[in-house]
């Protein structure tokens, strides 16, 4: 995997070893950021961050700050290594994403959500409850699910697109 654009364009990033993490492909990341447009100065929350590819891409493209959340220690170590390699600064939390959402008081311009596909139906009610509270007034949520899943969150759906086995749904506040 590599960073697609911005100040760290072309730099290679690593994912945790094993099958527990499903990094967002370069193609999907490029398309997501084409949909989003500029992220200069944005505050980004990357939930179920895995390798951190989406949040790292946002930082490379000018986001001001990022908070990465994953409950897998190997994923957290991979994110920290990627941040060090790219010489970027961000907070990395080894915690449950729903727990962070429930307790978070900061508002974010961009929230990236890429849970394991199998758990999405179980966490959708909590996401619906807590995501609106952490979004800034013009905030955007990017949700990745299995292509067969049609998510329903209490936000305005901007677009929903399929890329192979992945569905990306973008919501506005």
pLDDT of residue 20: 60
DSSP-derived secondary structure letter, 18:
S
Binned average pLDDT, 10 residues per bin, the chain of 173 residues? 93 79 81 96 97 96 98 96 97 98 97 96 98 97 96 97 96 94
Q: Which two tokens stand for residue 70?
A: 């994953």
Q: 26-172 belongs to which CATH class?
A: alpha beta
Strands 156-163 and 166-172, sheet pairing: antiparallel
First to last CA, the chain: 30
Domain residue spans of the chain: 26-172
Give, in order, the Cα–Cα distances in Å from 155 to each of 48, 71, 83, 132, 158: 20, 26, 31, 7, 9
pLDDT of residue 155: 98
Q: For the CA atoms of the chain, what is the radius of gyration?
A: 14
pLDDT of residue 26: 85
């Amino acid at each position: 995997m590599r960073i697609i654009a911005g100040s760290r364009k072309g730099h290679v990033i690593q994912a945790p070893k094993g099958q527990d993490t499903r990094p967002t492909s370069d193609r999907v990341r490029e398309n997501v950021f084409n949909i989003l447009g500029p992220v200069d100065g944005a505050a980004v929350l990357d939930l179920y961050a895995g390798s951190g590819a989406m949040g790292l891409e946002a930082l490379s493209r000018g986001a001001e700050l990022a908070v990465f959340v994953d409950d897998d220690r190997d994923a957290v170590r991979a994110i920290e290594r990627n941040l060090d390699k790219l010489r970027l600064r961000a907070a990395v939390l080894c915690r449950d994403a729903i727990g962070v959402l429930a307790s978070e008081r900061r508002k974010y311009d961009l929230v990236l959500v890429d849970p394991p596909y199998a758990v999405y139906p179980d966490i959708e009610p909590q996401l619906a409850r807590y995501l609106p509270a952490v979004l800034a007034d013009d905030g955007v949520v990017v949700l990745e699910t299995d292509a067969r899943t049609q998510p329903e969150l209490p936000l305005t759906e901007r677009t929903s697109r399929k890329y192979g086995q992945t569905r990306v749904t973008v919501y506005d506040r």
